Amino acid sequence: MKRRRLTTLLAAAVLALLPTTTAQAEPTYPDPQPLTGQQIIHDPTIIRLRSGGYVAYSTGGVLGARLSKDLRHWDDAGNAFAEPPSWWYEYNDSGDPWAPDISYRAGRYWLYYAVSSWGTNHSAIGVATSRSGLPGTWTDHGKVLTSETTDSWNAIDPALVQADGRLWMSFGSYWTGIRMVELNPRTGKAAQGAPVHHLATRPDAPYAVEGPYIVKHGRYYYLFASYDQCCAGVNSTYKIRVGRSTTVTGPYMDSEGKPLLEGGGDLLLAGHGRYVGTGGQSVFRARDGQDWLAYHYYDAEGEGTPKLGLNRLSWTSTGWPKAF
């Protein structure tokens, strides 16, 4: 009897030393850095200009423009174009362009953008060039790639990346998700006969992943994408996920090895507090070499107005991005 009681007491003591099970803590996300000036923006793309300062282009207007000297104060700078090129009206009645992407190569700035209508994949990606990158200086060069209702992908949300001396464009929204095509570096348009690669999708309709952006860090290419619902103000559920690959065309995996073609993707940034529906992202490098994540959020304390979010990006010891 004494032995049984001693055993019971010892077992109780051991259990008392074990950690108790508690509810898993909710993940925390960093707030965007404080900004001043014109903060209203949607689907931002930002680049450091060779002439100094930064320019951001976005959905809205005829690709709305913002200028900043320090990434903190932003001034309204009008639009990339004075008026829509005539061919845009083939894709919507208002000549309204979406989701631009700016880059610099071969002595020129290149501005890619999409024209489409809500709920259809009758869409096109176009391109313009400029020597300065400033609003009002762009020359349009027409269509880069198109999609029709008979296609299983959607030609919107372009983003460029260079890999091993070749030029690539990721793109896509719903309609089976994220795709990629090689571009002719001279024209900046889809290379003749180039296959369309598949990078990411969701296992369930409507395959809500879009807005890809790919960057190289170390030996990996990182695919950032926006998951779930955009453009619903404070009811938006946009969030940013990421996967990586040793080759630009994939396959992309998350940190647990789940393919992005099977719905994988590490959660990098999600809505929290007043910052709802974080997405429409891009990545750029500041003059000091710091990587930044740019995105829009819907301000729950500002009637759901879309605003510019900026967070620094760091890279963990295992090579994964972290916003702070």
pLDDT of 24 reads 53
Structure tokens of 88?
């845009």
Tens-level pLDDT at each residue, the chain (324 residues): 434 443 444 444 433 444 444 445 667 999 999 999 999 999 999 999 999 999 999 999 999 999 999 999 999 999 999 999 999 999 999 999 999 999 999 999 999 999 999 999 999 999 999 999 999 999 999 999 999 999 999 999 999 999 999 999 999 999 999 999 999 999 999 999 999 999 999 999 999 999 999 999 999 999 999 999 999 999 999 999 999 999 999 999 999 999 999 999 999 999 999 999 999 999 999 999 999 999 999 999 999 999 999 999 999 999 999 999
pLDDT of 27 reads 78
Q: How many residues does the chain have?
A: 324
pLDDT of 224 reads 98
Q: Provide the 10 A C-beta neighbour count for residue 303.
A: 9
3-class SS letters over 22-36: CCCCCCCCCCCCCCE
pLDDT of 175 reads 95
**CA–CA separation, 247 and 260 (whole Å):** 14
The class level of CATH for 39-323 reads mainly beta
Structure tokens of 288?
């000091």
pLDDT of 23 reads 46
Q: CA 208, 263, 100, 129 torsion: positive or negative?
A: negative
Residues catalogued as catalytic: 43, 210
CB-based contacts of 293: which residues, under 8 Å, 6+ apart? 224, 240, 268, 269, 281, 282, 283, 309, 310, 311, 312, 313, 321, 323
Give pTM, 2 decimals.
0.91
Proportion of the chain in helix, strand, coil states, percent, rounded to 5: 10, 45, 45
Residue ranges of the domains in the chain? 39-323
On whether the CB atoms of residues 113 and 125 are closer than 8 A, the answer is yes
